[in-house]
Amino acid sequence: MGATLHQAVTLQFKAANNQAEYEALIAGLNFALSMVVKHIQVFSDSQLVVNQVNRIFETKDEVLKKYLQLAKSLISQFEDFSLTHIPREENQVADRLAKEGLPDLRRTKVFERTSFECTEGSSEEQLPCWMDKILDYLKSGIQPDNR
């Protein structure tokens, strides 16, 4: 039995299109992990991201290499994972979310810095990262205050 999960993401930093696509993938993977999902089928209209994750395309860009490394780290936590490309014109769900967002604003995540910056070690000067509580849970089983 399966379920479809939706989450909107707002980036408050400059990101190229491919970086934004990776941010969406990473946010979705983290969301699924926070829901204790073990088997996941992901669909993306980003041909580049899909082919890099599926090892069809080589990743040469240094920033995209960091995103790919983080995505693979998250993917390894699922028992079963697949990532499939769907043409942009067939991705009505993503179009609707991009235009309208989610009515339940609690499922809209706002990111102030890139996901891979969150995992490169926290300096005391940095603001808390949106992923900190998820990483704490995955590493040590410490549950966030608000499940």
- Which of the two residues, 125 and 94, has the higher pLDDT score? 94
Least confident of 38-52, 77-91, 117-131, 132-146: 117-131
Domains and CATH numbers, the chain: 16-140 (3.30.420.10)
Q: Mind giving me the DSSP string for 120-146?
A: S---TTSPPPTTHHHHHHHHH-PPPS-
pTM check: above 0.95? no
Average confidence (pLDDT) over 17-35: 92
Q: What is the DSSP string of 73-96?
A: HHHTTSSEEEEEE--GGG-HHHHH
Cβ pair 41, 84 in contact under 8 A: yes
